[in-house]
Amino acid sequence: MIRAAIRRAYGFDFPDDLLAFWSLAKALHPKNPRAAFQADLGIVLLGPFDILAGKKTSAGLLTGRWVSDPPELFTVMSGDSDGLHWGYVLDHPGGRQDAFVAHFFSRDGYPIIPDGPTLFHALRKHLEDVYGDIATQVAEMKGVGEIDRTVAKRTRRLDRVRDAIVRFATEEHSGRGRAFAPSRFVPRAAAPTFDGLGALCKSSDTRALGTDAALVRKLRSEHSRARLLQKIPGPLGARLKLGRDLLCFVEVKERGPAYDLLEETYRALDRAILADVVAACRRRDLAEAPSAGPRRCTSFEEAMRDPGSVTSIAIERWGTKGKARRLQIPADAGRLSKLASLSINGALLEGLDALAKMRALVDLTHLRMRSRRSPRFDCQASGPGAQPRR
């Protein structure tokens, strides 16, 4: 019943420790479990915990999601400073995976820091950080002969939370506060990304992007970013890493190309939930973006950055000795809702579904294609729903 409610809201099941963590929260604060750790640790439970608490929400996949969060991070706890929040890192929501928990100070910037395999590990680490700060404060107060009974009471409450964590998680770690020694945690092997979480893909796929240092230099330059988008590498791993890194370097209102690349890549990787997250982020982040007005573009890549404003595309792709180069029509070409004129010179359309994609261009009234430098190979069509014919 409870799992079904979360599955309806998110489309997948969260890791098993979520319900155990909820039991811990209810044991500490039966009347309001979502606030069980708020008074002493500044933590509020949200996301799937809202559903467990019977709270109605319509945010769905966007619940607690900051604009700087990668699609794989699903927020379940929020802190009280600098955009601190925790979430599960899910590379394949609903599928087999090695999930883990990480925290992120959004206002401080990257990297996102992995905490451990469960929420219990994340909570214990934060508790000991807070405990260490309090211990330092107490030592300073004793040094000047001051005593604050409120601070002493807080340490006792933190001791109670620690004991409960150990009881529910059945795992003990030595030390308290600064002396705390958590077990070493190494997240799943992944291609490195600028946000710190990594992208789950074949490491060999990302070689097309060059070294990480070289890629970062390119991403810092607007001109170099545009060139990267014009020549997007073929391997899915390279496309995933590029899309994730693009999110770290472009302004929110300029994320259209990155969102397009990521959504297409996630669907190709059969990670439908992550593709849905990207689509939801696009609607949220780009809904207020001003349209550039009617545009004429020279490539599909350029057109898909703001597909709703494109009225004309003219592509010239002649290779050496007048030979045509291969061209692929975007899978979501139907988003070019105002495209009226399409001219493709010097390109051979790839894919058996090329014509099906072109039929999605419902407003197309003029089409011209030339695959050779000869009138004999000139295809033209005019009128509503223009389709190529020889």
255 and 322 fall within a common domain: no
Task: Classify residue 186: in a domain, yes or no.
Answer: no
Total structural domains within the chain: 3
Across-strand partners of 105? Answer: 84
- Rounded distance, CA 211 to CA 202, Å? 15
The last residue of one of the domains, among 263, 286, 309, is 286
160 and 271 fall within a common domain: no
241 and 266 fall within a common domain: yes
Interval 251-285: pLDDT, tens: 998 999 999 999 999 999 999 999 999 999 999 99
Please provide the DSSP assignment of 204-249 as one string. GGGGGG--HHHHHHHHHSHHHHHHHHHT--SSHHHHHHHHHHHHHH
Model pTM score: 0.71
Task: Classify residue 388: in a domain, yes or no.
Answer: no
Q: Are strands 84-89 and 100-105 parallel, antiparallel or unpaired?
A: antiparallel
Interval 86-143: pLDDT, tens: 999 999 998 877 899 999 999 999 999 999 999 999 999 999 999 988 888 877 777 6
Ranges in the chain, pLDDT < 70: 58, 143-148, 170-174, 176, 178-179, 181, 288-295, 317-325, 350-358, 362, 371-390
Task: Classify residue 268: in a domain, yes or no.
Answer: yes
Task: Classify residue 310: in a domain, yes or no.
Answer: yes
Q: In whole angstroms, how far apart are CA 386 and each of 50, 128, 336, 363, 365? A: 51, 67, 14, 9, 5
User: Among all chains, which residue has been given the structure tokens 């890194």?
Assistant: 245
211 and 311 fall within a common domain: no
7 and 113 fall within a common domain: yes
pLDDT given for residue 171 in this prediction: 63
- Rounded distance, CA 127 to CA 67, Å? 27
146 and 172 fall within a common domain: yes
**Closest listed residue to residue 100, CA positions, set 193, 171, 91:** 91
327 and 369 fall within a common domain: yes
Q: Which residues contact 74 (CB under 8 A, 6 or more apart)?
A: 10, 14, 47, 61, 65, 87, 88, 89, 90, 93
Q: Which domain holds residue 250?
A: 203-286
Peptide bond into 187 cis (omega under 30): no
Task: Classify residue 193: in a domain, yes or no.
Answer: no
The last residue of one of the domains, among 240, 265, 286, is 286
The last residue of one of the domains, among 265, 286, 307, is 286
Answer whether 101's CB lies under 8 Å from 18's CB.
Answer: no
104 and 10 fall within a common domain: yes
Answer whether 255's CB lies under 8 Å from 284's CB.
Answer: no
304 and 275 fall within a common domain: no
277 and 307 fall within a common domain: no
Task: Classify residue 196: in a domain, yes or no.
Answer: no
Task: Classify residue 108: in a domain, yes or no.
Answer: yes
214 and 282 fall within a common domain: yes
19 and 73 fall within a common domain: yes
| C-alpha triplet 334, 336, 340: angle, nearest 5° | 115
Task: Classify residue 184: in a domain, yes or no.
Answer: no
